[in-house]
Amino acid sequence: MDAYELITRNTDEVVTEDEVRTLATDPDGKRAYVGYEPSGVLHIGHMLTATKLIDLQEAGFEITVLLADVHAYLNDKGTFEEIRETADRMKAQFIAYGLDEDKTEFVLGSEFQLDKAYTLDLHAAELETTLSRAKRSMAEIQRGDHAKVSQMVYPLMQALDIEYLDVDLAVGGLDQRKVHMLARETLPELNYEVRPALHTPIIADLSTGVGKMSSSDGVTISMEDTRQEITEKVNDAYCPPTADPEPTDEGHDRENPVLQLFQYHVFPRVEHVVVERPEKYGGDLEYASYEALKADMESGELHPMDAKAALAAELNVLIEPGRQQLSG
């Protein structure tokens, strides 16, 4: 696998391909970043982008993880003291999950976002941004009908973070696309260069296959979960034995979250997956690629419940080091 393939595998969008290909010609020492609100324990969404950061480290990138305490405060996630305690725990969990500590810099937003230069640039960005544009960018941040002014400033800060962290590549879930597009519009107005971005997929709701798996809106998997809890959640997951899940009665498209978790979480981290089965059902199956596992499920060779058992076991192995951090 060449550098570009490693950098971009399992992404939903590359902005832009030409810019990322240029980075891929000499990725050593280049810096990529992702920002997280320190608002709770690591869950499957954090882990998906963290897996992409591990890919980037393998490709030669250095990584900056922004533990965005100011953003969390603006989004009403607690006092600064509470948020920073969470940030410390999250840092330990990211390292436990597999980020190379020697190639990862953890930065609190308050280390630079309260400085005069940043504040003046933020005001300049506010002057360049219409109210409607800011509202579109904050759509993934604010939930419900009671947006705060602080939440409108939030995406402008995310755009500025790319410049002030001096990174070459921004990483985020597909739900961060509007913010990264805002950055590409806003930074040149402040005489700063645009940076390319990678957008990772969104894992579907575990129980329905529709929408987004969310720690606030439904069932998710986190580093707090015991092995039994992971097994129960995966066993209850939507997983039809078909290549194209049927749409809902309302016409909404479905994804297969079990296959998504294999594709985006398991196979990037392991060389092979063993599905244990009794001899009377054909014995164990071993897969060296996601494509092979998917093909067997679609053909009927791999039963969804056997796939779920293997998925729960693999997720437990990935999460166990972080779980130990929480208990320690």
Query: What pLDDT score was predicted for residue 177?
Result: 93
CA–CA gap between residue 323 and residue 235 (Å, rounded): 20
Band (141; pLDDT cuts 50, 70, 90): low
Domain 227-327, second-level architecture:
Orthogonal Bundle (1.10)
When the pLDDT of each residue in the chain is averaged and rounded to a whole number, the result is 91
pLDDT beyond 70 at 249 = no
CA–CA gap between residue 284 and residue 243 (Å, rounded): 22
What pTM does this model have?
A: 0.92
Question: Residues 93, 322: contact at Cβ < 8 Å?
Answer: yes
CATH number of 3-200: 3.40.50.620
pLDDT beyond 80 at 79 = yes
81-95, 182-196, 210-224, 247-261: which has the minimum mean pLDDT? 210-224
Domain boundaries, the chain: 3-200, 227-327
Q: What percent of the chain has pLDDT over 70?
A: 92
Question: Residues 54, 98: contact at Cβ < 8 Å?
Answer: yes
